[in-house]
Amino acid sequence: MSKIPQGSSNSECRCIFIFAMKTMQEDMAVSILLDAYLQKKLSTCHCKLVQEAKRLHLLKRDIEGCLERLVIIRAQLRAEDDATATQGPETESSASERDQEHQLMADITDALKITKATIRALVRRKAALTKSRASLHNRQRRLVERAYRSGTFVSFAS
């Protein structure tokens, strides 16, 4: 224990020590609550990351399907061009279908870029939350060590 400061009574020192204990207990309680909050944010971020990964997979599959349909439409257009030299209604419908597929492909590609950017942001957020949580665990360890040294923490391990 430290010496009683000059000009203060023993009861004042006890009040200061009790206040320090309450502060330490409050710090521990706040750190536990913050740890639970960070864990919840981390699990929410992980769920969003999984959802975006699924969406990315579906978009890639849609792009592959679009490319396959474009190949088929191009083959139909070549076959129609070889069969007739004039523009028929089949050729016009195939050309409009090709334009629709190109537009769909552009929309899917834009959605893919947005999804990739979202995944990158979520990965950065998850890393920041993990780092904050590790820092908080170190703070909790220091609080427990300080409580143990001051005698306010009793170990039940023995």
pLDDT at 12: 45
**Separation between Cα atoms, residue 65 and residue 70, nearest integer Å:** 9
Q: Give the C-alpha separation, 46 to 125, whole Å.
A: 10
The tens digit of pLDDT for each residue in 105-118 reads: 999 999 999 999 99
- Measured CA to CA in angstroms, residue 130 lies from 63, 80, 120 at distances of 34, 59, 15
Nearest to 77 by CA among 91, 60, 62: 91
pLDDT, greater one: 23 or 28? 28
| Mean pLDDT taken over the chain | 82
Q: What is the pLDDT of residue 118?
A: 97
Banded pLDDT at 35 (limits 50, 70, 90):
very high
Count CB neighbours of 93 within 10 A: 12
Residue 53 near residue 115, CB atoms below 8 Å: no
Q: Given this model, what pLDDT does residue 27 score?
A: 84
pLDDT at 87: 61
User: What is the model's pTM?
Assistant: 0.69
Which of 18-22, 85-89, 125-129, 141-145 is least confident? Answer: 18-22
Residue 17 pLDDT exceeds 50: no
Domains of the chain: 11-150 (1.10.287.1700)
